[in-house]
Amino acid sequence: MSQPIRPSVFLNALPALPAHHGANDNMMGAGNDGEAVVLFLNKSGARSEETLRRYEREITRLTAFLYFELGIGYKDVRLKHLQAYVSFIQNLPPRWLMPGILPGQPDRIMFRSPIKPGKSTDQVIDVLSSFFSFLEKNRYTAGNPAASLIRSGEKVARGNTIIRYFYDNEWQFIKECLASLPMGTERERIESARTRLILSLSYGLALRESELTGHTCSDIHPDNDNGFYLSVLGKGRKRRQVPLNKVLQQQIIEYRGMNGFSGLYGDPFPLAPKTRKNGGLITPLSARGLRFWWRSFIENCQSKASPDIRHRLQGLPFHTLRHTALTHLARKMDIEDLAIFAGHDSINTTSQYYHAEASRLKKMAADHHI
């Protein structure tokens, strides 16, 4: 799980953050903006490392804008300032796309590109609203100026959601790349086995990044039917039990055996392990480390692909594996069962994996013309 943010980690990245005026009468006990944001990140980031990373990124960006562009702190923020920020991130000055904005982190690049209007901007607004709601609730600010920010408002009608998963020919190619990994040396055999383990667990259990990196073999338990399940603490800190089939069980046992461990469960052996030991111990990849590993794997696949597939694999995130798994499971599971497997609260979320509707509509409308 995510580690608490220490005040120095955040404060050292920014110029002196002003103490708020008057008595320290807020419910957090925060004496300045820096302490307030650290308390927010420790609360919100407890969900997962990925949530912490996303919230820290967005709040750091906002704070840098407030201090460097407007010269104000959180208590002085009004709706007009946040509206200016939304326009700012969609039309970034060139210097904000280069390192050197944060004095405490001179190599950090605040933005890789401007934020696109629509869903991407709406996700930023969601974080800002959560942040200022937290400040308001704890009486650090007089209100939540982000509550009145206007989102794009565009929604997708049922059956029209587009998600990116590996199409059948792409998925077949990925499996061929996996089967062709080099195994000439001991190091190559271990890396090949690790790659198969990570891909198999991610696809077989439809796990998110944080779910794979945040769990170990101590989260595997026997069920009451001579099988085993993985107890997953997922998005929104909701726990679900995902069954481990025989093939996945065997792959875990085999990889553990290669590293001197026996059996399937009962110890903190990571589900997404690093190849290099730390102090003699096998430690898990971080979410960022997993993404780096994934990019390396995809780049290796691209080097062997046809121009068409090479282009289509470009930029596909690790989460594509989960989308692919749920799309394939949707071909044989009822929507209620798939929602439970995926950890979805609503079957409306699950319905996006039933692509048959779009195909069926296409066929039925083929001869519908003047």
pLDDT, tens digit, for every residue of 40-64?
998 887 666 778 888 999 999 999 9
CB 287 within 8 A of CB 270: no
Whole-model pTM? Answer: 0.67
Could you give phi then psi for residue 229, rounded to 5 degrees?
A: -140, 160
Provide the pLDDT for residue 32: 87
pLDDT tops 60 at residue 161:
no
What is the model's pLDDT at position 366?
A: 80
Q: Which pLDDT belongs to residue 246?
A: 95
3 residue type, one letter: Q
Q: What is the pLDDT of residue 5?
A: 45
Name the strand (E) or helix (H) holding 241: strand 239-244
Which residue in 131, 129, 147, 124 sits closest to 28, CA to CA?
Answer: 131
Amino acid at 30: A
CA distances from 230 to 152, 256, 268, 287, 292 (A): 38, 16, 13, 19, 25
Nearest to 319 by CA among 338, 342, 346: 342
Banded model confidence at residue 24, pLDDT cuts 50, 70, 90: low
Residues of the chain with pLDDT > 70, as a percent, come to 88
Give dist(CA 184, CA 166) in Å, integer: 29
Residue 266 or 7, more confident:
266
pLDDT digits (tens, 9 = 90+) for 194-230: 999 999 999 999 999 999 999 999 999 999 999 999 9
Q: How far is CA 183 from CA 180, 243, 253, in A?
A: 9, 30, 19
pLDDT score of 294 more than 80: yes
Can you give the pLDDT at residue 250? 96
Share of the chain above pLDDT 90, in %: 61
Tell whether the model's pLDDT for residue 65 goes beyond 60. Answer: yes
What confidence tens digit (pLDDT) does each residue in 295-316 have?
Answer: 999 999 999 999 999 999 998 9
- Per-residue pLDDT band at 235 (split at 50, 70, 90): confident
Q: Which pLDDT score is estimated for 7?
A: 44
pLDDT at 2: 46
Mean pLDDT value across residues 279-294: 91
Residue 28 tokens read as 């957090």
DSSP line for 84-107 = HHHHHHHS--GGGGSB-SSTT-TT
The chain-wide mean pLDDT, for the chain, equals 87
Quick one: pLDDT at residue 154? 62
Distance, CA of 311 to CA of 293 (rounded, Å): 19
Q: What is the mean pLDDT of residues 242-246?
A: 95
The DSSP secondary-structure symbol of 239 reads: E
pLDDT of residue 4: 47
349: Cβ contacts below 8 Å, ≥ 6 apart: 339, 342
pLDDT of residue 360: 65
Q: List the Cα angle 13/19/25 in 5-degree steps.
A: 125
136 alpha carbon, distance to own chain's centre: 27
Please state, in angstroms and rounded to a whole number, the distance separating the CA atoms of residues 22 and 343. 46
Q: Which of 41-45, 120-124, 205-209, 339-343 has the lowest mean pLDDT?
A: 41-45
Both tokens assigned to 234: 């997922």
Q: State the pLDDT confidence band at 28, using cuts at 50, 70 and 90.
A: confident
Tokens encoding 184: 């000439």
Examine the pLDDT at 241 and tell me if it is beyond 90: yes
Mean pLDDT of 11-23: 50
Confidence bin at 158 (pLDDT 50/70/90) = low
Mean pLDDT of 231-254: 93
Mean pLDDT value across residues 19-48 = 77
The burial class, CB within 10 Å (0-12 / 13-18 / 19+), for 226 is exposed
Q: Which residue has the tokens 């909701």?
A: 238
Region 71-91: what's the mean pLDDT? 94
Average pLDDT of the segment spanning 250-259: 95
Q: Say whether pLDDT at 335 is over 80.
A: yes
* 12, pLDDT greater than 90: no
CB-count exposure of residue 343 (10 Å: 0-12, 13-18, 19+) = buried
